[in-house]
Structure 1
Amino acid sequence: MTRNSTAIATRSLTKRFGSESAVDGLELSVDHGTVYGFLGPNGAGKTTTMRMLTSLTQPTDGQAWIDGNPVSDRDAIRESIGYLPEEPPVFDELTGREQLEYFGRLRDIPATEMETRIVDWLDRFDLTDDADKRIDDYSKGMRQKIGLIQALLHEPDVVFLDEPTSGLDPRAARTVLDVIAELTDDGHTVFLSTHILSVVEELADVVGVLYEGDLVAEGSPAELTARMEAEEGTTLEDVFLSVTAERGPAAPRSATEGTGDAADSQDEQATDQ
């Protein structure tokens, strides 16, 4: 399949729930091999956007494409995307290894190749000794690691990550950041939603700030912070606070806090992962 010039594109992408617009006319164009940092306070529409881009939620209006294929065509985009929601889609009754093998079979990864990848990823995230324990006995951080591995196991071109360092200790969080950097070095695209602005400043090529369903600012971290210099603001946090101030107070939270967005059901995620 010929690779499209953009990894992610949207045109007037909109999602309404009753009379309320969760996402309102979103226009995005994300190049291959980049990290797109997607920022916004709780309720801004970030999770709704990611669910539309991964075909889990149908838009009310507008269109979206992954590598030139419409997200309405699940079969066309299925192998191209990986998705880690804030609550990883795992089955408590399975072991970590069984969970990854289950998803590997869903993705039609050849058995030998799948086992090699699983072993390598378990080792990378220090899960080898716990791989044959039930996920029900895992900590939040261990569940997060399994969820990330399964999102990456089939080596997708475009990866959607919603708070990927949530619940992780500093060493594991650093591993995640290193993995994201390696993915883009290899030409993959990462759509990264997080409240940890230092992560975005370190990794993102482009940053978009969503507020009340609208994209209120977009540009490289350097471009956005340059806009604040006249107001003596020099960090991405200054930008975040500035562009959201007109509609009400919003502040980024610390690395230990979650977003509070509702999780998808396990059955739905298992099918679509």
Structure 2
Amino acid sequence: MIELTGVSKTYDGQKQAVTNLSLTIPSGKIFGFLGPNGAGKSTTIKMMTGILPLDEGQITMNGFDITTDALEAKRSFGYVSDSPDQFLRLKGVEYLNFIGDLYDVDTKTRKERIEHFTKEFGIFEVLNDTIQSYSHGMRQKIIVTGVLLHDPDVWILDEPLTGLDPKSAFTLKEMMKEHAEKGKTVFFSTHVLEVVEQLCDEVAIISNGEILFNGDMKEMKKQFKEDQTLEHIFLELTNHE
């Protein structure tokens, strides 16, 4: 479970990026986080993961405070950022072993998971190549594999399907469903509204740093018109901001 309570963030003491944001993302759910560019999605996610400090409020991961219990909180989640251009000079296998060392994944489990997930994503054969030689999609796959390697309870995925080929995107979506079915948590941001309609149990829409809607898809349909698509609802909400 992820809980955000009264979270705010200001840049340079002037630009209010997120204002008094509160969300509860329950276990056993796939939770979609939507908003136009500059809405506050990435800022919120960076606060959730401890990359940015909070100005106000509290964020907990499975009961651990991201500020005061940072190490335990960070052990409970895996994070895929919106840019996979990381550790470019490492070989793919070196990066995955680095992640395995960070999270104390034993040698046998590590080897099995690396082989399984990289074969699922079609990158097993390039593990001895440097990440800088990978395409954008391949870099995305190696970062996602790193998240799956230590089997965290909470997945935080920022635009995880960007750059993935259709087969790999399908594979990841199935993994997200399986993770939630195990009673664990998937939180992901996306611009692809169709994916939200396919996958999400619950959704929040953010604009100008504030939550405009938070609930399940049925509640959203009730609040608006039953025959409206998520695209129409999203545009109706954000265009009035």
How high is the TM-score relative to the length of structure 2? 0.96
AA at the equivalent of 1:33: G
Does the alignment pair 1:55 with 2:16?
A: no
**Match of residue 187, structure 2, among 177, 187, 191:** 191
- Shift in Å at residue 89 of structure 1? 5.5
Q: Number of aligned pairs?
A: 239
Give the 3-state SS of the residue equivalent to 2:28 in structure 1.
Answer: coil
TM-score normalised per structure 1: 0.85
Residue of structure 2 in register with 1:250 after alignment: none
Q: Distance in 2 between matches of 1:223 and 1:198?
A: 18
Gaps of 5+ in 2: none
Residue aligned with 1:42, SS: coil
State the one-letter code of the partner of 1:236: L
Q: Deviations over 1:104-130 (max 9, x none)?
A: 111111122111111111111111111
1:130 to 126, 129, 132: 126
> What's the offset of the Cα at 1:88?
2.1
CA contact (8 A) 1:44 1:210 kept: yes
Residue 10 (structure 1) aligns with: 4
1:76 corresponding residue in structure 2: 72
State how far apart, in whole Å, the 1-side matches of 2:156 and 2:85 are: 14
The runs of 5 or more residues in structure 1 that have no matched partner are 1-6, 248-273
What residue identity is the alignment partner of 1:142? Answer: M
How far apart are the structure 1 equivalents of 2:84 and 2:28?
Answer: 24
User: What residue identity is the alignment partner of 1:242?
Assistant: E
Following TM superposition, where does structure 1 have runs of at least 4 consecutive aligned residues deviating by more than 6 angstroms?
Answer: none
Superposition RMSD in Å: 1.2
Q: How does 1:1-273 map to 2 (within 5 A)?
A: 7-17=1-11, 18-72=13-67, 73-88=69-84, 90-229=86-225, 234-247=228-241
Partner deviation per Cα, 1:2-32 (whole Å, 9 max, x = no partner): xxxxx01111100111212111001111111
- Cα distance in 2 between the residues matched to 1:245 and 1:87: 27
Distance (Å, rounded) in 2 between the aligned partners of 1:56 and 1:223: 33
Which amino acid counterpart does residue 18 of structure 2 have in structure 1?
V
Contact 2:50 2:70 in 1 (8 A): yes
Paired-residue identity, %: 38
